[in-house]
Structure 1
Amino acid sequence: MTEITVRHNPARERFDVLVAGNAIGKAAYKSYDGGGSPQRIFYHTVINEEYGGQGLAGKLAAAALDDTVAAGLGIVPVCPYIKKYLAKHPEYAASTAAVTPAHLQFLEDALAARASKA
């Protein structure tokens, strides 16, 4: 298989997975600091269909979560894929926060604000 790279794109609040330099998937998040410790709310992970079944989503999730933990940030798993990944990888448990109504409201407001700018 061609070279696979995962890079953090903080300006767009996401991690991109690239194959031969072409972005073929992402793990999107919103930065959150609701008065406690700073966190990343992961809300969407996707890999282009033609690259499915190659384990790329797992590589993307691992890189995104490792970076989040290394940055001292909490993980808030709203995305179904990230939730599933965390269930299979208990090493992230100490850095994972339960999703609260405040997280969901913040995410809804942030995504609505972004959509209104588009």
Structure 2
Amino acid sequence: MSVSESIIVEDTDSKGRYLYRADGHEAEMTFSKIGTSQIIIDHTDVPDAFRGQGVGLALVTRAVEDARANGIKIRPLCPFAAAQFRRHPEWADVLAR
């Protein structure tokens, strides 16, 4: 199973996170909701065990896919997520302006 297929989404009324677990390690990207139309990605944490494997990118990509599917926008306040949005101009349709 690929990293993207293994990502779990935990979602509450006001917050949530995208989570990837493997080999006793856990990577996460947390978000806060602004109403029903926008999320703020506020933190990404990828342990050294996953570095260089595309786990962080997979977390952000999954959020982008979910945003498209649900008609919401993303405000990437987390420096890692913001850098990924700069590298992927094709994600502009879900970027909150």
TM-score when normalising by structure 1? 0.70
Unaligned runs of 5+ in 2: none
Show structure 1 runs of 5+ residues with no match.
Answer: 99-118
Instruction: Give the superposed CA RMSD.
Output: 2.0
Runs (4 or more) in structure 1 with deviation over 2 Å come to: none
Q: Which residue of 1 aligns with 2:10?
A: 9
More helix per residue: 1
Residue 44 (structure 1) shift: 0.2
Q: How do 1:1-118 residues align onto structure 2 when only pairs under 5 Å count?
A: 4=3, 5-11=6-12, 13-19=16-22, 24-33=26-35, 38-98=37-97
Does the CA-based 8 Å contact 1:8-1:64 persist in structure 2? Answer: no
- From the CA coordinates, give the structure whose radius of gyration is larger: 1
- Identity within the alignment, %: 24
- Distance in 2 (alpha carbons) for counterparts of 1:47 and 1:87: 19
Q: Greater relative contact order (Cα 8 A, min sep 6): structure 1 or 2?
A: 2
Contact 1:27/1:64 (<8 A) preserved = no
Aligned pairs, number: 93
